Amino acid sequence: MHLDVLDLRNFYYRTNLGRVAQRAIREQVREIWPAAKGQTVAGFGFAVPLLRPLRTSARRVVAMMPGQQGVMPWPAGEENVSLLCEETAWPLPDGFVDKLILLHGLETSEHPAAVLEESLRVLRPGGRALFIVPNRSGLWARRDGTPFGFGRPYSSGQLEAQLRQHGFEPEAHRAALFSPPTSRRFWLKTASIWENAGQRMSAYYAGGVLMVEATKRVYRPTGLPAKDGLPRPLRILDALPQPGAEPA
């Protein structure tokens, strides 16, 4: 079940806990993808909090939001680049996207396999996708007061197996949201300390969200290679005497 776009907007832009979550996840995205110079970047679900840093270098940015969730204009005060779409039929041509981010788009979908198929379709060969989902063993997936408490949480093994099944090759994984999902002032003020400690210890099992970067797998051609040119002519009659010139 998709969350309403207004609830997502209010959480990320109007609550202190949402701003903390946005900052923590966005810092990891910056480390994975510091820039997207001249590239086409797309997001699906509610990825707009993570797309803004890439707009300065990307050639094109598109924010796709599923119809069950709803859409909002983005970015505020600028030319709109967000659109409403079916979660199983994105209005992008094949191989159009260089980088793709999914946030609140996979775990809440009723058709996750179709979402992954669309992700694979719109990526160019060798393109990169970043899948961000709630961590099954984390605290954030156990609280309904945040968007990460809805949908199906994943373990890293479950997510990577599902990606491989649909033509992706996982390249790297990270985690974020190591602080508790609470709006208490102490935890909000010390959130950056918990994030730094979690990253140094590589305690991915304790993070609130899992982040897996994957590339579009390019299959090698199979079968016998085709040969150019005409087949060799038959030489059965070569041994017979050839007719000579007629006498004058």
Q: Over the stretch 28-73, which tens digit does the pLDDT of each residue have?
A: 999 999 888 999 999 999 999 999 999 989 999 999 999 999 999 9
Nearest to 9 by CA among 147, 152, 131, 182: 147
Average the pLDDT over 144-155 and give the result.
93
Q: What is the pLDDT of residue 122?
A: 97
Per the CB < 8 A criterion, the answer to whether 99 and 43 are in contact is no
Residues 6+ apart with CB under 8 A from 32: 130, 172, 174, 211, 213
Q: Check residues 67 and 224 and name the one with the higher pLDDT.
A: 67
Q: Which of helix, strand or coil describes residue 240?
A: coil
Q: What is the pLDDT of residue 221?
A: 47
User: 129-133, 160-164, 225-229: which range is least confident on average?
Assistant: 225-229
Average the pLDDT over 234-242 and give the result.
54
Residue with tokens 């979660």: 87
Q: Across-strand partners of 130?
A: 101, 213
pTM of the model: 0.86
Nearest to 55 by CA among 35, 72, 71, 27: 35
Per the CB < 8 A criterion, the answer to whether 75 and 16 are in contact is no
Q: What is the pLDDT of residue 6?
A: 96
Phi, psi values for residue 67, rounded to 5°: -60, -35
pLDDT above 90 (res 237): no
Give the single-character DSSP code of 41: E
pLDDT above 70 (res 99): yes
Q: Check residues 149 and 234 and name the one with the higher pLDDT.
A: 149
Nearest to 3 by CA among 134, 177, 159, 117: 134
Average the pLDDT over 133-139 and give the result.
94
Instruction: Give burial (CB, 10 Å; 0-12/13-18/19+) of 181.
Output: buried
Nearest to 81 by CA among 53, 62, 100: 62
Per the CB < 8 A criterion, the answer to whether 94 and 33 are in contact is no
